[in-house]
Amino acid sequence: MSQTVLVTGSSSGFGRAAVHRFLDQGWNVVATLRDPSRWTGAPDGRLLVTALDVRDTASVLAGVAAAVERFGRIDCVVNNAGVGLFAVFEGTPERIIEDVVDTNLYGPMRVIRAVLPHFHRQGGGRIVNVTSSNVTVPSTLMAAYSASKGGLHGFSEAISYELSLRNVEVKVVEPGLSPGTNFVGQTTARFGSSEVPAPYAAYVQERAATFDAPPPPGYFATDDDVAAAIHEAAVDETGRFRWRVGADALDFARARQASDEDYDAWRRSHFAPAR
């Protein structure tokens, strides 16, 4: 019998690529997104496209119920839905920070709460949470985003021990930037322009320009690279917990493994404002 995976945030990027990866591997797939009309693609008997807003408990419960009604079970949940934020913390309205944390941290918690009863009835399951390389190295002007993804990583690792008692495995996939990532554009499109207090203006422009600089070929992970890691985590039987994806994510990991003194020098060289 084919296994079933539910993927949040399936409208584009990592989530959409993951949907196609699992379909290619023979899974039943529940592609969830806030607005199902945004899904484009040919119909498939192993694909259910349904609404699920991770910020709303009723929507989460309805999406999980629709998955179980269609396929009879859920074997794996991929918590991919998330939102970026590139902004000065001091100039960011509280409602925006709350939305980022609600989507990136509380959202996966809601999905996990909703799916655990189904996992327990069938004797186990798998959770794959998509975090960020900001978990390893919190990046400048991404304080709220780093807090939300760092919280998701800590939550994932901590809950993995207790859920192992119920045959539920928890994994994390930690992507770096991808070629399509545009934190500045995402922030403007989703929230409008946050206020940039005058003392920060030059630094914000300097850092925003780094997103436009072309990376070395192959340096950043593609959506397909991340989707492959998500699928690998979903079927892994080795006990591995963490998948870092992208050369930048691996560079961050190496920097963090240095001595405290060397890491402090490295992070200041990368992110500290010029004086």
* 50 Cβ neighbours under 8 A, 6+ residues apart: 30, 31, 32, 36, 63, 66, 67
* 179 Cβ neighbours under 8 A, 6+ residues apart: 215, 220, 222
Return the structure tokens found at 40: 């484009």
Catalytic option among 106, 145, 219, 263: 145
In whole angstroms, what is the distance from residue 207 CA to residue 32 CA? 33
Nearest-CA neighbor of 136 among 169, 112, 171, 172? 172
In whole angstroms, what is the distance from residue 176 CA to residue 251 CA? 10
Residue 130 in 3-state DSSP?
Answer: strand
Concatenating the DSSP letter of every residue in 171-204 gives EEEEE---TT--HHHHHHHHH-PPP--GGGHHHH
Helix extents (H) in the chain: 13-24, 57-71, 94-101, 107-122, 143-163, 183-191, 201-210, 223-235, 247-256, 260-271
Cβ distance 135 to 150 under 8 Å? yes
Active site residue 263: no
CB atoms within 10 A of CB 10: 29
Report the DSSP beta bridge partners of residue 169.
Answer: 126
Greatest distance between any 2 Cα atoms in the chain:
62
Hey, which residues are catalytic here? 145
